[in-house]
Structure 1
Amino acid sequence: MLIDSSGLSKVKDSIKAKIFLGQEPNAELIAILTVYFVQGILMLARLAVSFFLKDELHLSPTQVSALLGVVAIPWIIKPVYGFISDGVPIFGYRRRPYLVLSGILGTVAWVSLATIVHTSWAAAAAIALSSFSVAVSDVIVDSLVVERARAESQADAGSLQSLCWGASAVGGLITAYFSGILLEHFSTRAVFWITALFPLLVSAVAWLIAESPIKKDSQDINHNSFTIKHKLGQLSKAVTQKSIWLPTAFIFIWQATPTSESAFFFFFTNELHFQPEFLGRVNLVTSIASIFGIWIFQRFLKSVPFRVIFGWSAILSATLGLTLLLLVTHTNRLIGIDDHWFSLGDSLILTVIGKIAYMPVLVLAARLCPSGVEATLFALLMSVFNLAGMVSYQLGAIITYWLGITDTNFESLWLLVMITNLSTLLPLPFLNWLPAAEQQPETSTLQLTLTNLPELLPEIDTKKTQVSSN
């Protein structure tokens, strides 16, 4: 039976409009979405990494927290990758070779974890290499998205970034539950083997990127050198402005408060005996809660002043986070609430609040970027945010050590809960560092915010705890 050509055309138009949000589903778009999808699906190994560090390498909560902070370094120097890819083409190409290389390095990292890693130092190196792989591919694919977004009409503004975020979210949702259930049937190293396959997808689709080779002559070299020096000059001028560095300092303080995440992972698995399947279920619930929190912000709170959102989210997070004291002291059992249900509900609520509080960070960071250096300064601001995250883990590790919390001793965990939750109130005296009057970001700024959303969703921390570890 022959298919009517007009009917086939309508189906294609419908797919383009509803699935691809009006974007032409060509090979390059598929490649871009695949890279974002892989970013989300790499969460498959998040629980495996935590159990590997705890059970096979026998690290303490303090050591795990310190290690997770160190492996964030590749994200802190992320702007450097952009300068390198722009200024140092490989075989005349600025995009394809770097994507191929990032995919290969990612696979090497996960294969190493599956085979030759037997010490904490080796584990830190392998996990950092995996982070480096994702960070490099993210820089490259972000640049491709920005280039394509410039050609969008006003009616389609933001659709490409939303599509990219959706691809990452789908990958994350698929793996959220399976990250736990796989550990019920396979070893952590087997999960690493499975994860090692996905970075190769990035290398494979790199060849679908439409890119022409650059003819590198002396004039191009001088132009690139001038461009880099000019942007560095603009960047230096921007970061010295009080209107930029004061809000950035607030964001740093807000994110750098200590976290109890690693200690709670040990508490959940060693004290409460939560199984990987349940932890995967919590990952799924919190992933959905993340999307719900973002929807609440976009629907109801995006016009609310930054000071109001940050202030109330800090107070609510600190107050509701203290409910973990009921779990730590097992008081929840006395009032008839099962450990599993209490942990699930607590993680869900704190995740929603965390996402609502985090979205203004993206909007504020994008709004601070002056014209001509938007992408570079935005990447730098996000690097500052990641640096604060590393400080958060290190402070958490130090406090965990001081309190004598180990893989079996949780007597002082209640005090860690008090410290980490009440510390979220520390940024409140500095609320006046934020802009007093908020305005909606321009279209280009909003696009920049949405572009960087996929990479940052896994990094968002409510500053309390999740039942899983990053």
Structure 2
Amino acid sequence: MADMNKHSIGMERLSAISSIHRNPDDPSYANHDTPAKPFKPDMENGALREGKPLTLLSVECIGLLAQYAGVGFLAGIIPGVIYPVLQGYLNAEGTTVVSATVLVQIPWCYKMFFGVISDCFPIMGYRRRPYMVIGWVFCVVILFIMAAMSVPDPYYGDAAMHSIDEEDWTEDQIDSINADAPNSAGKYVVPMMLASFGYLICEVAADAMVVEYAQREPIDQRGRVQTAVYAVKTSFTAVGAAVIAFFMNGEEYAGSFSFSLSFQELMMITGVICAPLVIVSWFLLNEERVVDKPSFGEYMSSFWTLLQKRAIYQIVAYKFFSGVFNSFNIVSSSNIKLYWVHATPFNNSFMTIVGTVFYAITLALTGKYGLDWNWRTIIIVTMCGALSIDAFMTMFTVWDVVRNQWFWLGVPMIEYLPDGIRFMIATYVVVELAEPGHEGALYGLLTATTNLTTPFGRSMAKLVNAQFHVWLKDIQADTTLVRRDVTITIWICYCMKLLSLAFLPLLPRQKAETQELKRTGGSSRAMGIFTVSYLAFAIVWATLVNLLSMYTTTMCWKITGGCAPKS
């Protein structure tokens, strides 16, 4: 173990030659803000790592924030394009839209693997910057490939059919329907998923840097860097959503504007915007070369030892099981949005912007005022409050008391409060648990566990929802039976979210309790094996089930959620 610690510490130091010629006490080196620069802090202030804390608005910080700005922008564009294109343009089934939404997020389930690669396989002596460059190059190439793809005719040949009852369609309008359009969804979703893999690689490397910087902060300030980067990421998600709102709201997308961008044009513009990040990643960020190339075998052995610690497997269990229950949502949401409240892509994206700004404010306020909150208490209070308001507004829409698109679109805004707080708590826990030399993999494991819960939970929700009359044709029919079944699925969703609170005892109350658990929790080989087993099953299940949902030959299998009964 002593040799292993020396090996890990060596990776964080300057090169051997530099160490010989540089005096750490020499003031000429005082302003070198690098993740690996030796520094003599007062470790009594609660810092977890030696080194100078990152100065916000420094060139290096701007380079780091640029990574999250790019990731956030794409996080607004790629998932945001699903509603106007798949729902409005192609008229896809609700289960297909859910699967598409999941698939563009599923790369984050593989975050740990990219973290291991980043930690273990330096490129030209660097563990972070080269992977950022590779990620952005790959992402931009995929965006340009999508810009060259052909797009079929829309499902509705006459855009006015979006707002006309089916029984009032003319013969010409019926003849204009492109019945094959919904089957084209997979053609676009898979490349979007690949683009997500590209900017995921960038975020993994950036996250590892953030952990290193955050651990330098004294305990009363720790969380400042994390709050800044995720506030930037969320703010630029709002910018991406604004692009969707203004340029994907044409009549062909069930919108209200007379102008719009095509899918190809949007991808081309997005690729051009993201291309400069390749240069930013290399020239604005500082990173010291790794002296000793880490041994993959030794790394995995020590990482396996880490996984067996109670502090790790207990937090992973909380994140996974509470997250699966909390991610249990209705699959008819996009169809309700289009056919019951007639939400346009503009208004949908506008509320996404409002939501992301609210989310960013939540992150900022949590970082400023919530560093010492009791994590369990704040999660209970915010979730119960959000669900109470959500239930009131949702039932009004389902039973046609008030069917206003702003009313329906405003509901998810409330959920940003508990989600934002849960997210920041998750990042704080990661910093407390991270070990030198394993930042990328451990951060990847804990955040990937959180991200894995959504596709796994949604795949379970599809299986349950398939037992009710909540298919596309059912929502269009809008009968009392359909409203009853939608109500049942919504209350099942609420019950699942409340059940997620049952796992709160696994979450420490605060940072000090997390450190105590880390010191005294012990380890268990059996629990380590169990943890790896259920995570492996969940990631394989979620990936396969949602991919199979995108293709006509497999989308009707029961494990994918099935298809609507033939009338």
**TM-score in terms of structure 1 length:** 0.76
- How much does 1:358 deviate? 3.6
In structure 2, relative to structure 1, the CA distance for the partners of 1:114 and 1:273 (3 Å cut) is farther
Give the counterpart letter for 2:70 in structure 1: V
Q: Which residue of 1 aligns with 2:357?
A: 288
Which secondary structure does the structure 1 equivalent of 2:294 belong to? Answer: helix
**1:355 and 2:420 matched:** yes
Instruction: Please list the CA deviations of residues 216-252 of structure 1 after superposition, one character each: whole Å capped at 9, or x if unmatched.
Output: xxxx5xx521xx4344333322322334323321221
Instruction: Please list the CA deviations of residues 307-363 of structure 1 after superposition, one character each: whole Å capped at 9, or x if unmatched.
Output: 323333443343333221211212235xxxxx1342354333222233234433333
**1:325 and 2:357 matched:** no
Choose the corresponding residue for 1:232, options 300, 315, 324.
300
- How much does 1:139 deviate? 1.7
In structure 2, relative to structure 1, the CA distance for the partners of 1:196 and 1:238 (3 Å cut) is same
Instruction: Please list the CA deviations of residues 352-381 of structure 1 after superposition, one character each: whole Å capped at 9, or x if unmatched.
Output: 233234433333344344666455323211
Aligned partners of 2:119 and 2:127 also within 8 Å: yes
In structure 2, relative to structure 1, the CA distance for the partners of 1:59 and 1:177 (3 Å cut) is same
- How much does 1:129 deviate? 0.8
Give the counterpart letter for 1:73 in structure 2: I
In structure 2, relative to structure 1, the CA distance for the partners of 1:262 and 1:45 (3 Å cut) is farther
**1:75 and 2:108 matched:** yes
Aligned partners of 2:78 and 2:104 also within 8 Å: no
Q: Which residue of 2 aligns with 1:451?
A: none
Q: Which residue of 2 aligns with 1:181?
A: 246
CA distance in 1, matches of 2:275, 2:188: 21
| Pairing 1:21-100 to 2, within 5 Å after superposition | 22-23=55-56, 25-26=58-59, 28-42=60-74, 43-90=76-123, 93-100=126-133
- Which has the larger Rg? 2
| Pairing 1:32-431 to 2, within 5 Å after superposition | 32-42=64-74, 43-90=76-123, 93-116=126-149, 119-146=184-211, 160-184=225-249, 185-189=259-263, 190-208=265-283, 209-210=285-286, 220=292, 223-225=293-295, 228-257=296-325, 258-260=327-329, 263-298=332-367, 301-323=370-392, 324-332=394-402, 339-369=404-434, 373-410=438-475, 411=482, 412-431=485-504
In structure 2, relative to structure 1, the CA distance for the partners of 1:267 and 1:142 (3 Å cut) is same
- How much does 1:180 deviate? 0.9
Aligned partners of 1:317 and 1:421 also within 8 Å: no
CA distance in 1, matches of 2:356, 2:469: 32
- How much does 1:280 deviate? 2.0
Q: Which residue of 2 aligns with 1:456?
A: none
- How much does 1:60 deviate? 0.9
Give the counterpart letter for 2:106 in structure 1: I
In terms of fraction of residues, the more helix-rich structure is: 1
Using the TM superposition, name which of 204-213 and 405-414 deviates more: 204-213
CA distance in 2, matches of 1:114, 1:397: 31
Which secondary structure does the structure 2 equivalent of 1:132 belong to? Answer: helix
CA distance in 2, matches of 1:154, 1:309: 20
In structure 2, relative to structure 1, the CA distance for the partners of 1:33 and 1:309 (3 Å cut) is closer
CA RMSD of aligned residues (A): 3.4
CA distance in 1, matches of 2:447, 2:131: 21
CA distance in 2, matches of 1:390, 1:349: 22
Instruction: Please list the CA deviations of residues 178-233 of structure 1 after superposition, one character each: whole Å capped at 9, or x if unmatched.
Output: 32121133144132222222331222323314457779xxxx5xx521xx434433
In structure 2, relative to structure 1, the CA distance for the partners of 1:162 and 1:251 (3 Å cut) is closer
Aligned partners of 1:66 and 1:397 also within 8 Å: no
- How much does 1:101 deviate? 2.3
- Which of structures 1 and 2 has the larger relative contact order (alpha carbons within 8 angstroms, sep 6+)? 1
Instruction: Please list the CA deviations of residues 124-151 of structure 1 after superposition, one character each: whole Å capped at 9, or x if unmatched.
Output: 3212111111110112223344556677
Using the TM superposition, name which of 140-149 and 119-128 deviates more: 140-149
Aligned partners of 1:98 and 1:137 also within 8 Å: yes
CA distance in 1, matches of 2:210, 2:506: 32
Give the counterpart letter for 1:186 in structure 2: S
Aligned partners of 1:45 and 1:195 also within 8 Å: no
CA distance in 2, matches of 1:268, 1:259: 18
CA distance in 2, matches of 1:158, 1:361: 11
Q: Percent sequence identity over matched residues?
A: 21
In structure 2, relative to structure 1, the CA distance for the partners of 1:319 and 1:188 (3 Å cut) is farther
How many residue pairs get matched? 410
- How much does 1:282 deviate? 0.5
In structure 2, relative to structure 1, the CA distance for the partners of 1:87 and 1:290 (3 Å cut) is same
**TM-score in terms of structure 2 length:** 0.64
